[in-house]
Chain A
Amino acid sequence: MSNHKNKKVAIVGIGSSVLARDSKRSVGALALDAVKNAIHDSGVPRDKIDGLSAIYSTDQPTVWPGYVAESLGMSNITWSNCATPPSANTVAEGVAAVTAGLCDYAVCYHSKYRWDTVSGSARNDPYRKAAPSSFDPGMSHPLVEAFGAPNAMFAAMQRHMYEFGTTRKHLGMIVVNNRNWALSNEQAIFKDKPLSMEQYLEAQQVVSPLSALDMDMPIDGAMAVVITSAERAKDLPNRPVIVDAVANGIAGKTDFFFQAFDTFQSYQVVLDKLWQTTGYTINDMNFVNIYDGFSSLALEWIEAAFCNRGEGPGLLEDSWNPQTNKLMFNGRIPMSTHGGNIGEGRVQGFGHVLEAVRQLRGNAENRQIDNAKLGLVTNGNNPVNTGLILRRSD
């Protein structure tokens, strides 16, 4: 069943920077805040940290491991790496390194920023000029020059609506669920801003069929976790959270203009691998933290996790409770109790990991799920994505 049965890795510390529209801090400072907080939380002495796992950034300068090691006076780093986004992938990479014995205690981190490339209101701020990025040299760039950046994610959602009769209301169930959970999260960027289905449906579409409410909220924010072997975790203060499985999935075409049409297929690769590795099914999960960079991506993750392509709209209708304005899948599985990227803010999926750890430690405060033992975390789109299955240690 489980691979590396005797070599499990555990998350033993979590940390976050402030999450804010304008933190008055640099992107590097935010990363240091998160890394320090995670190490403090773990109880691991600084000198024992020997691994640093980062994410290279597609729209901004990368806060690479050298920056963190230098800034925090770490001189014992024997393994480091910059993985592809999204956030959970820094955890996946760290897990691989600890499992392989390349390091004993790794900090996995990611720092996001409200650059002028993701936020119109940032364009006059001299502290928010993103470095030029070079992403995919394929076919997209020439057309970007001539026509702006027509994002295939919108076109993919149009196609979903055409094929399966999906409506804005289905996406609204995802968005309103996340915004309502965010009301219980002190750290959430939308902590004090409720959103009703009526308000969602009235929102102007930026590029049809999606409105600004369907997209994650650009913020300044970084998060980190400390991981080590499950054996070593027993000697540390926090209840360890075991990483039972990690997976990536790549499918079909990956050029920026085409990748979104194969998103579901790539998600299915992730989920198949997670179930195959662990022997679990979706019904073993106590909660799911589903990536919501766009609400349409969440819809496709939900389909890959719970049903088949095209069955998401029906599942959402069956799971939607208009009294609570929340989703409860199969009658008992809540989604993204921290509010997701849409409600908590855009740390590219890292909030989904931290919230899973809180739930499994049993300290998610006013949003704690009873007896939470297992959680699914998903992050990303095609071809950059990660799934994790996390388990409470007994």
Chain B
Amino acid sequence: MSETCPTRLDYDTEKYWRGSSEQQLIIARCNECEHWIHPPRSCCPACWSDNIGHQQASGRATLYSFTIQPGKPSQPPLIMGWAELEEQERLIIVGPLLNASPDTVRIGTKLQLQWFQYKNTFVPAFNQEPEA
């Protein structure tokens, strides 16, 4: 079985992180009312159903917000994005913006899902789409 980040999983988060290790964005979704749930939970906050499934999300997103973390002296700053998935309002994945710089990062920009290798596994990351 492939390695995951983190190595510590629980019954709610396992499918998300296993999907991530295989470069698939697997998001919890209520089987009753189809509400997407992230971070994953054992119960649907909308309808209280315990019948929670998982589906692959499109990966299309809009930049909701970001932080610019100072890097080490010789390295550029790390830009972390809060990516709002097109599937649902405020359904947000956090990951680095690989092609953004402090000058080009812009809230509201369309994002494409990428995968960032971390140790022997992967976590979600995003690229800003060039403006039309």
Contact = CB atoms under 8 A, between A and B. Distances in A.
B94 interface: yes
A155 interface: yes
B68 A207 contact: yes
Nearest to A254: B39
A143 B90 contact: no
B126 interface: no
B47 to A, nearest CB: 17
Interface stretch (A26-34, A144-152, A268-276, A291-299): A144-152
A171 to B, nearest CB: 16
Interface string A149-191: 0111011101100100000000000000000000000000000
A143 B82 contact: no
B10 A207 contact: no
Contacts of B39: 138-139, 253, 255, 258
B60 to A, nearest CB: 20
Interface in B104-125: 107-108, 116, 118, 123
Interface residues of A, number: 28
Interface in A252-269: 252-253, 255, 257-258, 261
Contacts of B108: 162
Interface in B17-63: 17, 38-40
A142 B17 contact: yes
Contacts of A1: none
B66 A145 contact: no
A137 interface: yes
A208 interface: yes
Interface of B: 5-6, 8, 10, 13, 16-17, 38-40, 64-70, 78, 80, 82, 90, 92, 94-96, 102, 107-108, 116, 118, 123
Given A137-B10, A141-B8, A162-B107, 11 more contacts: A139-B13, A143-B94, A145-B6, A151-B67, A155-B64, A158-B66, A158-B67, A159-B64, A162-B65, A207-B68, A261-B64
13 contacts: A139-B13, A141-B8, A142-B123, A148-B78, A150-B78, A152-B65, A155-B64, A155-B66, A207-B68, A207-B69, A252-B90, A261-B64, A261-B92
Interface of A: 137-139, 141-143, 145-148, 150-152, 154-156, 158-159, 162, 206-208, 252-253, 255, 257-258, 261
Closest 7 CB pairs between A and B?
A142-B6, A155-B65, A150-B80, A139-B39, A159-B65, A162-B107, A154-B67
